[in-house]
């Protein structure tokens, strides 16, 4: 079994039990959990010392998984994702099947279709969306690499992926809000 497969399997075991993982995403090192598990999502808020009224991002493996967790994916979303030159997070109206405490107060959810191999395999094999939030305490700068992640975060997760510890973060994802009424708003380029 390759290290890659072993890491995916270890993550799935922790996620299935409601635990937290620290993992390399397509943008930054992230804290993750099962996005359908309210208790696990609560642990993320607690670890980040973040109010649970502040929404989180979740990763999905592909368009099919996205469609299972959003009531109606606007057609323009597919165009945006196809044309994107960097990871792009889209905020959708009316998410379904996700933990209530992961959804914003206005009934929206920020979802990114994973663009790197590790996150795609992980979410695909787990068969559920995974929370993806930066590996820092709320208000602190986002660590630029694994070596900058503070002890509080390292000790607060149940599993740390043993891959890409030498990788520098990529650019943060673009964030675009799409309303079911046809509105498009760029939150972060």
Structural domain including 33 reads 3-188
The model's pLDDT over 108-132, given as tens digits with 9 standing for 90+, comes to 999 999 988 999 999 999 999 999 9
Q: Can you give the CATH number for the domain in which 165 is found?
A: 3.90.870.10
pTM, entire model: 0.94
Q: How many domains does the chain have?
A: 1
Q: State the pLDDT at residue 24.
A: 93
Question: How is residue 153 written in tokens?
Answer: 């975060």
Of 67, 37, 66, 59, whose CA–CA distance to 123 is shortest? 59
User: Could you tell me the CA-to-CA distances from 33 to 16, 17, 150 in Å, in that order?
Assistant: 9, 10, 19
| DSSP-based three-state secondary structure for 132 | strand
Mean pLDDT, residues 140-166: 92
Mean predicted lDDT score pLDDT of the chain: 92
Residues 6+ apart with CB under 8 A from 41: 33, 35, 52, 56, 99, 101, 102, 131
């Amino acid at each position: 079994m390759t290290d890659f497969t072993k890491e995916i399997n270890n993550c799935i075991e922790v996620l299935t039990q409601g635990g937290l993982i620290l993992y390399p995403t397509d943008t930054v090192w992230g804290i993750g959990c099962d996005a359908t598990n309210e208790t696990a999502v609560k642990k993320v808020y607690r670890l980040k010392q973040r109010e649970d009224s502040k929404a989180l991002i979740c990763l999905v493996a592909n368009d099919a998984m996205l469609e299972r967790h959003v009531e109606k994916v606007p057609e323009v979303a597919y165009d945006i994702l196809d044309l994107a030159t960097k990871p792009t997070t889209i905020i959708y109206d009316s998410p379904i099947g996700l933990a209530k405490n992961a959804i914003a107060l206005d009934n929206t959810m920020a979802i990114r279709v994973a663009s790197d191999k590790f996150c795609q395999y992980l979410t695909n094999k787990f068969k559920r969306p995974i929370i993806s939030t930066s590996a820092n305490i709320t208000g602190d700068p986002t660590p630029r690499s694994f070596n900058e992640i503070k002890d509080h975060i390292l000790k607060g997760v149940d599993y740390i992926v043993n891959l890409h510890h030498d990788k520098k973060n990529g650019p943060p994802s673009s964030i675009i809000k799409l309303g079911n009424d046809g509105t498009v708003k760029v939150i972060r380029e």
